[in-house]
Amino acid sequence: MSQEYLLVLCTCPEHSVAKQIAEALVSRHLAACVNIIPGITSVYFWKGKMEDGQEHLMLIKTASSHYTEVERCILEQHPYELPEVIAVPVQQGSDEYLTWIRECLISNP
């Protein structure tokens, strides 16, 4: 059952951006929960130059069937030219938690 679930990772430049995206994902029933972890430092190459910056990491709990819409929602609102959107399959999880995720992803009538 757990193979149908994903943990999507996405970094944002500011907490307000991460919160806006998180609220859009949860309100549209595309994610059951989004954790926002502040204060991470990212070091990366961009356009041939080494860069670094402070970012906020979103941990997005969703289902594989929702990935395309999750990515679209992020790209619609994200200020970066090329935002990080990486999905990791959930290998295992408590049945109760995974059931909760599934129930949260069902749209309200």
The H or E element spanning position 49 is: strand 49-63
Residue 32 phi/psi, 5-degree rounding, is: -80, -35
pLDDT profile of the chain (109 residues), mean per 10: 84 98 98 97 97 97 97 98 97 94 80
pLDDT of residue 103: 94
SS3 state of residue 50: strand
pLDDT of residue 3: 65
pLDDT of residue 57: 98
Q: Spell out the CATH class of 2-104.
A: alpha beta
